[in-house]
Chain A
Amino acid sequence: MTLSALVFTIFSFGSIGLFSWKMKSIIAQIKLGKAISRSDRKAERWKTMLLVAFGQKKMFTRPFVAILHFIFYVAFVITQIELIEVFIDGFSGGHRYFFHAGLGNFYVLVISAIELLSILTFIATLIFFARRNIIKLPRFTMAELKGWPRNDANLILLFELLLIGFIFLMNSADEARLNILSNDSYSFAVSQFIGPLLADSLGNLDTLEVLSKIGWWGHLIMVFIFLNYLPYSKHLHILFAFPNTYFSNLDAKGKFSNMESVENEVKLMLDPNADPYAAPAKDAAPQRFGAKDVQDLTWKQLLEAYSCTECGRCSSVCPANQTGKLLSPRKIMMDTRDRLSEVGNNKMNLEDGKSLLGDYITPEELWACTSCNACVQECPVNIDPLSIIVDLRRFLVMEESKIPSELTGMLTNIENNGAPWQFSPADRMKWTEEN
């Protein structure tokens, strides 16, 4: 085994191992969530995943950015073909295995596609940089993006540029070498033009070989960095978008989750034949009503927190956010993820005196929500911030009796006279007599 193959092997096993270890921790964190069944209606689930994650259907409500994002996505997927070759070359110590394996024109076609997509991705990356840092779109400058989230977004764009640079460096150096050796070309779409220029200006086979190696290792190292950066970044969505859309809520958006424990309790109250002294059924009462911390949410809600790309479409359409209220649905998701990873980093210790509600999310944010579902409708990966808002409200109201006083009045009215206002039920037919 050559030295380079040895280094490569250590590198790849190391980084894949590190990635797996971190992902195991994230999956364990998600499993802290409560059970919820999302295994029904399989055909519909596959269809949703294909359309929303694979086909990026919901992105296209904003076509310009959808096209840019789609370029990234296609480029990313197709570049993985080259990555397979990189791995084969890495283990074997060879170079361009597929080319020498006689794939000929097809190989040139694939590499050319990668190069053309890389050029488009380069342009898209610059536009994305500009949107965040020069144009400063409102949804990229909201309070919750200050600090790390903003750097995270820029860092990924920088990785992208480096990766593209290394790909072109390797391809162009190889083109230059072939040009010098046999006045020939691989005919790669873009680098066949850069190669001869490089050959003319450097003209030295050894230097070109070093450049090609820098390109190859650079590409590889960027892939390993990217892989291990993913679990800490909003870019985890490139993996989690798929399970997240598969496990989407398929019911009408207006349907709120049913609290079975409360349903059963009320059923007993209303049942004249119920035995008031009967021992409560096993698991009849939950530990708490609603959600105070991450373990009170379902695993799906926690998966959503890790799937969030922090794009902020949810907040940009939120009526509360647009009118200056404190609520930002994106922040709800980011807070949930931050709290969950805090618990994960703390060896799953939930008794650290902190909680999602209170330390991360305030009641004022929760009470600004109109439950209009605009955020749910807008999310490109079918995240449902509203369900978390509702579960946190339930805890505030049912466990802590912390509720705006006007709402207490509304609830009392419903209980006393069956309407949210103080009207007598006897007057329900009055409208038929009035002109």
Chain B
Amino acid sequence: MNLQVPTMAEMMASGETPDVLFWVGCSGSFDDRAKKITKAIAKILTHCKVKFAVLGTEESCTGDPARRAGNEFTFQMQAQMNIQVLNGYEVKRIVTGCPHCFNTLKNEYPELGGNYEVLHHTQLIQDLINTGKLALEGGTAFKGKKITFHDPCYLGRANEVYEAPRALIEKLDGELVEMKRCKTNGLCCGAGGAQMFKEAEKGNKEINIERTEDVLAANAQIVATGCPFCNTMMTDGVKNFNKEAEIQVLDVAELIAQAADL
């Protein structure tokens, strides 16, 4: 099924204004695994009749990895160009599929002239459920399954969003179990600060392996996360222990889309 996702340009051409801009992010646009998360978010938005649009080819990296890698020039170029585009479309509200985009748009764009209400997709989905636009009744997709949530650093500690993803998991028919390190104490997956794009420095262990051990100790069958980079790292970690048959790594949006049978 092809998803009908309008772009901002198309919306503007037909004289319409979306309620929310879906900022897909680079990973969500190009990474094969992350594209599935993007689709799950788009399906949920479509199902709930949220009037949304994407920037499409006008979207560009927020600059997060450039700033974290220490290159402020590249960050500023990206940020200022993106703000021109966003302000040009008079965007007021943004939902992101990635905590890194979320953090940059929410916290770092305002002082450069980009002021928007920015939501992480788990926050928007929680709102859709709370306002009765999305119902999950009758689903048995996760019956008897233990689901743990891996806090993405840029969602958790960086922005103190701990409850929205957990509230969503609790709506499912599975059981939410916590790892020994969670919420403010959550352990990084190893991808942040531009580490995703480089080899790890010399050490005696990979960070995602250390984190996967927490998952194994929690005895979870599903690792839920809210970040495409965490998803990659945790998927690799699970593979490393040859546990891909027993443990699934899924985004919270995918869990919700499955439960709502979308």
A contact set with B: CB distance below 8 Å: 61, 251-256, 258-259, 262-263, 265-267, 269-270, 289-290, 317, 319-320, 322-327, 364, 367-374, 376-377, 390, 393-398, 403-404, 406-407, 409-411, 414-415, 418-421, 423, 425-435
Whether B61 and A254, one on each chain, are in contact in the complex, defined by CB atoms closer than 8 angstroms, is no
Q: What 1/0 mask marks residues of chain B from 183 to 217 whose CB sits below 8 Å from any chain A CB?
A: 01101101111111111111111110111000000
Q: How far is the CA of A396 from the CA of B190 in the complex (A)?
A: 22
Among B63, B111, B211, max chain A CB count under 10 A is at B111
Whole-angstrom distance between the alpha carbons of A262 and B79 in the complex? 12
Judged by a CB distance under 8 angstroms, whether B157 is at the interface is yes
B192 A393 Cβ-Cβ under 8 A: no
Within 8 A of A (CB), among B12-41: 24, 26, 28-31, 35, 38-39
Say whether B69 contacts A393, CB under 8 Å: yes
Give the Cβ gap from B65 to chain A, nearest Cβ, in Å: 5
Q: Please measure, in the bound complex, the distance between the C-alpha atom of A425 and the C-alpha atom of B56, giving whole angstroms.
A: 8
Tell me if B245 counts as interface (CB < 8 A to partner A).
no
- Inter-chain contact B203/A373, CB cutoff 8 Å: no
Interface centre among B30, B54, B57, B63 (most CB of A within 10 A): B30
Query: Is B185 a contact partner of A372 (Cβ separation < 8 A)?
Result: no
Q: How many residues of B contact A (CB 8 A)?
A: 76
Q: A266-B77, A319-B190 are in contact. Are A418 and B60 (CB under 8 A)?
A: yes
Which of B1-9, B125-133, B249-257 contacts its partner?
A: B1-9
Within 8 A of A (CB), among B35-63: 35, 38-39, 42, 54, 56-57, 59-61, 63
User: Is B158 an interface position by the 8 A CB rule?
Assistant: yes
Structural contact, B153 and A410, CB atoms closer than 8 A:
no
Cβ contact of B158, chosen from A252, A319, A320, A419, cutoff 8 A: A252
Which residues of chain B are near A397, meaning CB under 8 Å?
69-71
- CB-based contact A319/B29 at 8 Å: no
- Check A398/B71 contact, CB under 8 A, given A252-B103, A319-B190: yes
Verify if B149 is at the interface (C-beta below 8 Å from A).
no
Knowing A254-B154, A320-B207 are in contact, say whether A396-B202 is a contact too (CB < 8 A). Answer: no
**Contact present for A419 and B61 (CB under 8 Å):** yes
- A and B contact pairs by CB, cutoff 8 A, 18 listed: A252-B106, A254-B158, A262-B72, A319-B211, A325-B203, A326-B202, A364-B202, A370-B191, A370-B192, A372-B193, A374-B153, A374-B188, A407-B197, A410-B69, A410-B194, A418-B60, A429-B56, A429-B57
Q: How far is the CB of B260 from chain A (nearest CB, A)?
A: 19
In the assembled complex, B107 has its CB within 8 A of some CB on chain A:
yes
Pairwise interchain contact A319-B107, C-beta atoms closer than 8 A: no
Q: Are A323 and B74 in contact, with the CB atoms below 8 A?
A: no
Give Cα distance in the complex from A320 to B80, angstroms: 32
Asked whether B69 lies within 8 Å of A407 as measured between CB atoms, the reply is yes
Q: Smallest distance from the beta carbon of B214 to chain A beta carbons, Å?
A: 11
- Are B80 and A420 closer than 8 Å at their CB atoms? no
- In the assembled complex, the Cα of A311 lies from the Cα of B29 at a distance in Å of 43
- B30 with A258: CB separation less than 8 A: no
* Contact residues in A for B68 (Cβ distance below 8 Å): 256, 371, 390
Contact B67 A324 (CB under 8 A): no
- Contact between A407 and B153, CB atoms less than 8 A apart: no
Chain A residues, CB < 8 A from B262: none
Asked if B73 CB lies within 8 Å of chain A CBs, one says yes
> Cβ of A324 and Cβ of B188 under 8 Å apart?
no
Given A398-B73, A414-B66, also A372-B157 (CB < 8 A) = yes
B201 touches A411 (CB 8 A): no
Q: Which residue of B lies closest to A327 (CB)?
A: B201
11 additional contacts, CB 8 Å, given A262-B73, A319-B187, A410-B65? A253-B159, A254-B157, A255-B107, A256-B108, A263-B76, A370-B153, A372-B193, A373-B153, A396-B70, A423-B26, A431-B24
With A368-B203, A419-B30 known as contacts, the answer to whether A322 contacts B210 (CB < 8 A) is: yes
CA of A424 to CA of B72, assembled, Å? 23
Contact in complex: A420, B76 (CB < 8 Å): no
Give Cα A394 to B69, complex, Å. Answer: 8
B81 beta carbon closer than 8 Å to chain A:
yes
- Beta-carbon contact of B72 and A419 below 8 Å: no
List A contacts of B191 (CB < 8 A). Answer: 370
